[in-house]
Amino acid sequence: MLRPRASGPGGAGKNYLNYLIPALEVGGFVFAMNQFNRHFIDEEEYGSNARTFWDNVTSSTVIDKDPFSINQIGHPYQGSIYYGFARSAGLSYWESLLYTLAGSFLWETYGETTRPSLNDHITTGIGGTFVGEALFRMASLLLEGGGGETPGFWRELGAALISLPTGFNRLDFGD
């Protein structure tokens, strides 16, 4: 089975799958979230298409006035999902940051029909790496605890609940 390689010192041992898999996961997550929001939340705001994508790519950014809970909790958590996909595929903090920024760009241009928001890019991209790294490390500590033994069901479940992308990638590719 094809799977990403664990990263050694200085990133040695990575293969193209370490970069391809999180790119596909981020794109798939944005698409799935857009489709859910489009069909169950608000078709007008999430009914994006090629025209709205092009309009968003060619327009200037705005500062939105979303509620605090969306801008300061929701966006960093969404960014942590993008970040977690990359980090759990064996990428470094800085490499994973690029996936978080790309995921934010993709959501702001494709995921919504409204103009891209500068404050959303910042809180999703930068805030997402801060939240994502903490969640990734907590999940890793839970999985690696126990003196080298293979983590049991409850530790695997706990780690997946802490960092959903880590749990997803472990389920797909093992450790």
Whether the Cβ atoms of residue 14 and residue 4 lie closer than 8 Å to each other:
yes
| Token digits of residue 7 | 């990263």
- Output the pTM of the full model: 0.91
> Cα Rg for the chain, rounded, in angstroms?
17
pLDDT digits (tens, 9 = 90+) for 57-80: 999 999 999 999 999 999 999 999
Span 105-129, average pLDDT: 96
Cα–Cα distances in angstroms (integers) from residue 54 to residues 1, 47, 58, in the given order:
38, 14, 6
Banded model confidence at residue 1, pLDDT cuts 50, 70, 90:
very low
